[in-house]
Amino acid sequence: MNNKNKILAEKVLLNTIKKSSVYATREGCVKCWRGVTYEHFMTMAGVCWKLANQGWKIYTEVEFNNGGRGDIVAISGEIGYVIEILHTESEARFSAKEDVYPREFTMIPIKTQGFDIDTFEI
């Protein structure tokens, strides 16, 4: 895929995100807020670090046009992932998000317990 087609494909995925969220969520920045657990934040930061260094465009705490907010959105060309960090969240609650998130993205759950950045791959 040439660079022009890659940019066009990425725009299709970015159009599923609320414009206010795109402006509030800078590419490559990991949001930190009061109340987030250390385990959740450090897992999110590790995943973002690894994917950004592999060439993915990374956004955190992204709000979608059709509702819901993803912990991490990773985009490269026509491929998009919503990565949910599960620390206090149950698998059932994660599964319920499949109906809310845009179908253009593949969902990936990552549990904080036992997370190993060295073995993480998407």
pLDDT at 22: 56
Q: What's the confidence (pLDDT) of residue 82?
A: 95
Q: Give me the residues paired with residue 33 across strands.
A: none
pTM for this prediction? 0.89
3-state secondary structure of 83: strand
Please report the pLDDT score of residue 44 as a whole number.
Answer: 96
In the prediction, which pLDDT does 89 show? 78
Give residue 21's pLDDT: 62
Low-confidence ranges of the chain (pLDDT < 50): none
| 96, two tokens | 């319920």
pLDDT number for residue 56: 96
